[in-house]
Amino acid sequence: VTFRTTACIQMQGSSGPGLCAQGRGILPAQVFFQPYRPGATYPSTGRGCASKGNPPQPYCQENGPFTVTL
């Protein structure tokens, strides 16, 4: 059962730390990033955690980085 998701995004070349958001339970993590700049490249990463096994143990998986030009 999923209990936590994290998504992070940053505009490539920016001096800031980027932005992360968390989702709890089955709700997805959604990042609303501003300012949007057409043609910019945005690297992103994520992490999902779930419980599995008996007794339940936490299991987390990293995703990314993924890069897209928007």
CB 18 within 8 A of CB 6: no
Q: Check whether the bond before 35 is cis (ω within 30° of 0).
A: yes
How far is residue 64's CA from residue 31's CA, in Å, rounded to a whole number?
Answer: 15
Considering the entire predicted model, what is its pTM?
0.84
| Backbone CA torsion sign across 46, 50, 52, 58 | positive
pLDDT tens digits, 20-39: 999 998 899 999 988 889 99
- Of 2, 56, 67, the residue nearest 29 (C-alpha): 2
Domain ranges of the chain: 2-69
Element counts in the chain: helices (H) and strands (E): 0, 4
pLDDT tens digits, 36-58: 899 999 999 999 999 999 999 99
